[in-house]
Amino acid sequence: MAIVECKGLSKTYQQGKLTVQALSDVNLSVAAGGFVALAGPSGSGKTTLLNLIGGLDRADAGQILVDGRDYSLLTRAEMADLRLRRIGFVFQSYNLIPVLSAVENVEYVMLLQGVSATERRGRARRILDDVGLAGKYDRRPAELSGGQQQRVAVARAIVSGPSIVLADEPTANLDSKTGEGLLQLMQWMNQEHQVTFIFSTHDRMVMDYARRIILIRDGRVAEDREKAA
């Protein structure tokens, strides 16, 4: 069953008087439980595609369905609710709230969802334990290493049980050892909890871990290959 379907997606941006064609007639689908890399050089359109799938931006043409819901039929409020409840995000710059502790950062999405204080604190601590941050609940982002901050970001992305996690260059600011540890963590969550992951990346290590690689070049799907089991 496809959890993501993109049909004929196109997106342009204005840079001054210049019109940039970021995506052109992109068609793809991702099955539930996938571990997929959108690969390509900077400027190829992979981050734009990830943002469209996440509902952070709107396509100029085409159709996107996530969890069977057609984005073009959703109001702004319905789109925001879908992002809140069904999609987890892991950003290259972590996007943690600096004045909140690790456990409070992880709780934040559940707070927006209306989860009770007792339940969200318990779930946040358990997921921090799962990502290797037991005992670091009260540390703020500035008191954590880059790898630890990214683990908090992953914990925040998955704690509410989303259908899909979108990760934009998740290893870009990490050394290779830390990056590999993060990928192993995501791989474990994919296998044990059936969380679907889609990465945008030009990191060879991420591509090595992915089970499917979709190469984006000049705003189009240039190659789409599944790895042998």
Domain range spanning residue 51? 33-57+74-226
- For 19-42, the pLDDT digits (tens) are 888 999 999 999 999 999 999 888
Query: Does a structural domain hold residue 81?
Result: yes
- Pairwise pLDDT comparison (173 vs 103), residue with the higher score: 103
pLDDT at 131: 82
Query: Does a structural domain hold residue 185?
Result: yes
pLDDT at 210: 95
How many domains, the chain?
A: 1
Tell me how far apart the terminal alpha carbons of the chain are, to the nearest angstrom. Answer: 19
Least confident of 48-57, 84-93, 104-113: 84-93
**Burial letters for 163-176: b for 16+ Cβ neighbours within 10 Å, e otherwise?**
bbbbbbbbbeebee
pLDDT at 173: 76
pLDDT at 35: 95
Distances (CA, A) of 136 to 102, 127, 171: 7, 12, 21
Query: Does a structural domain hold residue 24?
Result: no
Query: Does a structural domain hold residue 17?
Result: no
Q: Please write down the HEC assignment for all residues of the chain.
A: CEEEEEEEEEEEEEECCEEEEEEEEEEEEEECCCEEEEECCCCCCHHHHHHHHCCCCCCCEEEEEECCEEHHHCCHHHHHHHHHHHEEEECCCCCCCCCCCHHHHHHHHHHHHCCCHHHHHHHHHHHHHHCCCCCCCCCCHHHCCHHHHHHHHHHHHHCCCCCEEEEECCCCCCCHHHHHHHHHHHHHHHHHHCCEEEEEECCHHHHHHCCEEEEEECCEEEEEEECCC
- For 115-134, the pLDDT digits (tens) are 999 999 999 999 898 888 88
Other beta carbons less than 10 A from residue 59's beta carbon = 24
Query: Does a structural domain hold residue 13?
Result: no
Is the pLDDT assigned to residue 229 strictly greater than 90?
no
- For 81-100, the pLDDT digits (tens) are 999 888 988 887 778 999 99
Q: Whose CA is closest to 35, among 156, 207, 175, 171?
A: 207
Query: Does a structural domain hold residue 159?
Result: yes
43: domain CATH number? 3.40.50.300
Query: Does a structural domain hold residue 172?
Result: yes
